[in-house]
Amino acid sequence: MEGFFMAFYRMGWHRTAANYVRFIANLRSFLSLLSMNTASYLPSDYIPIFIQLSLALGFIVVTMLVTHNIGPKRHSVKKDDPFECGIPTQGDARAPISIKYFLVAILFVLFDVEVIFMYPWAVNFMQLGQEGFIQMVLFMGLLLAGFYYVIRKGVLKWE
Amino acid sequence: MELTVLVIKSLVILAVFGITLLIATYSTYAERKVAAFLQDRIGPNRAGPFGLLQPIADAGKMFFKEDFIPAQANKWLFILGPCLAMLTALMSSAVIPFGDSIRYGSFEVPVQGIDVNVGVLYVFGVVSLGVYGVMIGGWASNNKFSLLGAIRAASQNISYEVALGLSIIAILMMTGSLSLRHIVNEQNGFFQWNVFTQPLGFVIFLTCAFAECNRTPFDLPECETELVGGYHTEYSSMKLGFYLFAEYINMFTSSAIISTLYFGGFQYPFMHQVHDALVDSLGSTVGHNIATGIGTAVLFGKIFFFIFFFMWVRWTIPRFRFDQLMNLGWKTLIPLSILNVVLTGAGLLFDKFKYATWLIVIVMIIMAATNAIKAPRRKPVTVPQL
């Protein structure tokens, strides 16, 4: 037993262990310090989100590994082709498509930015009062004018 | 955060995670049973009593199917697609308040993964990432049907996201907070529920939630009459399972968010009286915890109603055409939700009147009624006498 402790001592693990205990104690006091002011959010308050993230990731990775490994695997040239209702595959799937989808994406970027502008305004609506309301109506009016132009231009017309 | 609090929170998260998966699993069973009920059939009844083991049998089957990757697909993106769809579906329930709080010793832990002050933004952030899962999967398959389905899904999701974001701005104006718990606490009392103060916002939010979940009548990304299977044509085994499962989890989450934002979350009429009676008779710890449990049960009742509503609509309303879908999203819902915001703001500035948007509803009803009256009458079909 004594030899074991001597070996433990000689390898310097007692210091590591002591450091570990001290680290845990520091962590605990740090965490309890954080819980004192709950009004302001500190990085440690987001620990639950990381717990949820690791749970979700664990579930997904394990399921994927299991399903990759227990199913049968049989390959053939015809079978590995992309499905095209039984006829031979014609060319690559990534052919040019209608520009409308792209225009919708651009419009989305514009309007989503507008929505994001409105969030902080909406949260402080009561404090900003009448002045803030008029400013936001003006902003939305300008945006809706652009929106009207886009519609008249036929961007959202689907043939 | 004290370690005890962290442990309790982890348990809450674990419970919510498990319940989410369980409800999503049994939603597949419920969907088939509801479909059977609406179509006057029996539905699954072979596996276990009332077919209750059917989802487990389905999951087992999914695991043992061949995990097929087409030769021309981008292998890693093909695997990443369903994983991302599932991840975003599982992450969005973190900020939903499922109940009041649990008292344990001197601690009072809210029944919620995390009470961030930007809860609404977190939900929207995570939900909008969901489109990547579909898009990546459809692109990586290198199949025409998949790619078309994925592009449709992407443009549909982003179109309805704008209206979704605009429709809840009115709620934020009334509550002045982005925290979901704060929004729930604000709906204190039956007629304070946001569905009564924001009827139009609720209808817009509900429509957009259907579109975001790719549910009928907005299931164009996977409509089998045009696109075989849509973005998951090439998928098999549990990868396909992930896509389908993510849809059911999204259904659960959006039901939970609808109940939280518009139907008072875990609040129910006479909640405070029940809470006080329980605390008086059982003590401040046990009574409070039981009252919290009742609130959570009420919230789950609301969630189940909305999940049923999703299934009910599926067998009631036919699918939209793509141009109808886009017109509804851009030309109807976005202007309406902006009008909703303006009118709510005017009402709030004018003597804090919260029910201003009923004006739009009344005008719309009158317009619909006049349209119905003015519409040319169809001649009654005369049956030829034989």
Of B176, B234, B338, which has the smallest distance from its Cβ to A82's Cβ? B234
Q: Do A122 and B169 touch (CB under 8 A)?
A: yes
Dihedral sign of CA atoms A137, B123, A40, B103 in order: positive
Q: Which domain holds residue A77?
A: 1-93
Q: Does any domain span residue B35?
A: no
CB-based contact B320:B180 (threshold 8 Å): no
pLDDT per position as a tens digit, B358-385: 888 888 889 889 988 888 777 777 777 7
Rounded to an integer, what distance in angstroms lies between the CA atom of residue B332 and that of residue B360? 13
- Of A93, A116, A148, which residue sits at a domain end? A93
When divided into structural domains, chain A yields a total of: 2
pLDDT of residue A30: 47
Among chain B residues, the shortest Cα distance to A41 is held by: B116
Percent of chain A clearing pLDDT 90 (strictly above): 4
DSSP B98: -
Q: What is the pLDDT of residues B73-104, one digit of tens each?
A: 888 888 898 999 899 988 888 888 888 887 77
Contacts of B73 in chain A (CB under 8 A): 82
Interface of A with B in 12-31 (CB under 8 A): 28, 31
Q: What are the DSSP calls for B5-49, one per residue?
A: HHHHHHHHHHHHHHHHHHHHHHHHHHHHHHHHHHTT-----SSSG
How wide is the angle at C-alpha B129 spanned by C-alphas B259 and A119, nearest 5°? 60
Name the CA dihedral angle for A64, A65, A71, A75, rounded to a multiple of 10 degrees: 90
Q: Quote ipTM for the complex.
A: 0.81
* Amino acid symbol at A31: L
Of residues A1 and A115, the one with the higher pLDDT is: A115
If you average pLDDT over residues B247-260, what whole number do you get? 91
Residue (of B146, B94, B110, B37) closest to B256 by Cα position = B94
> pLDDT band at residue A38, thresholds of 50, 70 and 90?
very low
Domain at A157, CATH number = 1.20.58.1610
| Single residue among A55, A78, A93 that ends a domain in this structure | A93
Question: What is the number of alpha carbons within 13 Å of residue A135 lying toward its C-beta?
Answer: 10
One-letter-per-residue 3-state SS of A41-108: CCHHHHHHHHHHHHHHHHHHHHHHHHHHHHCCCCCCCCCCCCCCCCCCCCCCCCCCCCHHHHHHHHHH
CA distances from B341 to B7, B206, B345 (A): 41, 17, 6
Q: Are A85 and A101 found together in one domain?
A: no
pLDDT at A36 (0 to 100): 41
Pick B91's closest partner by Cβ from A28, A53, A85.
A53
Q: Please compute Rg for chain A using Cα positions.
A: 31
Same domain? For A83 and A24 the reply is yes
Q: How far apart are CA B257 and CA B310, in angstroms?
A: 14
In the block, residue with structure tokens 């009252």: B291
Evaluate if residue B352 carries a pLDDT over 80. no
> H helices of chain B, where?
3-38, 54-64, 75-91, 119-141, 144-167, 169-175, 180-186, 194-197, 199-212, 224-227, 237-262, 271-282, 286-314, 322-327, 334-349, 358-374
Q: Could you read off the pLDDT of A100-150 as tens digits, one per residue?
A: 888 888 888 888 888 888 888 888 888 888 888 898 889 889 888 988 998
Residues 115-154 of A with CB under 8 A from B: 115-116, 118-119, 122-126, 129-130, 133, 136-137, 140, 144, 147, 151
Instruction: Report yes or no on B385 lying in a domain.
Output: no
Task: Out of A60, A93, A126, pick the residue that ends a domain.
Answer: A93
pLDDT at A24 over 60: no
Which segment of A116-130, B110-124, B145-159 scores lowest on mean pLDDT? B110-124
> Is residue B369 included in any domain, yes or no?
yes
Report pLDDT for B309.
92
A108 touches chain B (CB under 8 A): yes
Residue with tokens 């039901």: B255
Higher pLDDT, B44 or B352: B44
In this prediction, residue A18 carries a pLDDT of 56
- pTM score of the predicted model: 0.84
- The answer to whether the CB atoms of B71 and A126 lie below 8 A apart is no
Residue B232 vs residues B69, B77, B98, B238: alpha-carbon distances, Å:
12, 13, 33, 12
**Quick one: A62 and A22 in the same domain?**
yes
d(CA B188, CA B195): 13
